[in-house]
Amino acid sequence: MLWWVIGGLISLHHLRLAGLAGALLLGGAAYGQQALPIIDAHSQFDQHVGLDEIMHWLDRAGVSRVILSDRSTGMVDRGEELLGLAAKHPDRITPAIRSKPPGYAKMRESEFFRYLARQAEHPGYGALAEIILTHAAMRNAYFSLGGDIEILPGEHQTRTAAALARRKGWPMLLHIEFRYIGQRKAIFMEELERLLANHRDLPVGLMHMGQLEPEEAERLVKSHPNAFFMLSWANPVGVGQAARNDPRRGWINMFQGSELKPQWRELMLAFPDRFVLAIDNVFKPQWSDMYVQQVAVWRKALLALPGPVAHAVAHGNAERLWKLPPAQPAQ
């Protein structure tokens, strides 16, 4: 819709004005010392993670709100538990419709439509979880994926998800591992850009920065006003774990030491409305001090940016995209 383009321009103009006012009235250091609410705009939990653990680690990390989906394996479905948790903590939990049923990659269009539609009937959901288009084969103590998943952006899974997201007024999140797929990258990028051009009314976010380099991300945001990026797994804590457990995967690290790399910093300053903070926990080892560490890394990096940009990335963009109430700093 036109609101996405206009909203982005207004948001950017507002951010620049607010940044000038903040610098004049408060000074950069004073602005940075203000409490920074954090929204984790995409995380998951499987059957091995207790609901009390989720709340514990949200509190420990100082996360104000999480957009959360259940990602149980096999025939386990914790959707009702998720909705119950959100009803108990409406100011902290926004439930997301589960998007990866067993056999998802080979599911017929009518089956996938019914799977999403059944969940969408419940008024408690406020988001749609990521749509997996590529995913490397993996095996750990909690989950096994025997082969790579490759679903082109033009296939029915994306069409079905896009229709639901548009109807609900939510963005759609796509998981594409561009670095991992190598020679297939060009055709996936071509189809992604066709999708973005044909659905300019729909905000489309790339999980894990799409594993893209800064110049590739810059080209996308300049060419497509509805494209944005989720910051999940693009930090030294996440990349460090991946290097030990799954070195082939291709995650990018946006950091140089504890600071953002200059190219990423400049891109975030130029397009502050196109970056959304997310951690993307799934398994029990991630619902741990690792979560606290990742949030701390991002909090420190964002507080080094101008105040309006930090607040946009940390929580403001998620509030706008998912129509969330203003986040308050977690106590």
Overall number of domains in the chain: 1
**105 within a domain of the structure (yes/no):** yes
**70 within a domain of the structure (yes/no):** yes
Task: Give the pLDDT of residue 141.
Answer: 62
Q: Which domain holds residue 193?
A: 2-322
Task: Give the pLDDT of residue 245.
Answer: 74
300 Cβ contact list (under 8 Å, min separation 6): 258
Residue 139's domain is classified under what CATH number? 3.20.20.140
Task: Give the pLDDT of residue 177.
Answer: 96
Task: Give the pLDDT of residue 24.
Answer: 27
Handedness of CA 164, 168, 169, 172 (dihedral sign): negative
Residue position matching structure tokens 């056999």: 103
**331 within a domain of the structure (yes/no):** no
**328 within a domain of the structure (yes/no):** no
Q: Please give the Cα distance from 153 to 197 (Å, whole number).
A: 12
Of 127, 180, 185, 125, the C-alpha closest to 153 is: 185
Q: Please give the Cα distance from 212 to 279 (Å, whole number).
A: 17
Which contacts (CB < 8 Å, 24+ apart) does range 190-195 have?
191/152, 191/153, 191/154, 192/153, 193/220, 193/223, 193/224, 194/153, 194/154, 195/153, 195/154, 195/158, 195/162
Return averaged pLDDT per consecutive 10 residues of the chain, 331 residues in all.
40 40 34 75 96 98 98 83 98 97 91 97 98 83 73 96 98 97 95 97 98 98 98 95 79 96 98 98 96 98 98 98 96 75
**330 within a domain of the structure (yes/no):** no
Q: Please give the Cα distance from 66 to 84 (Å, whole number).
A: 15
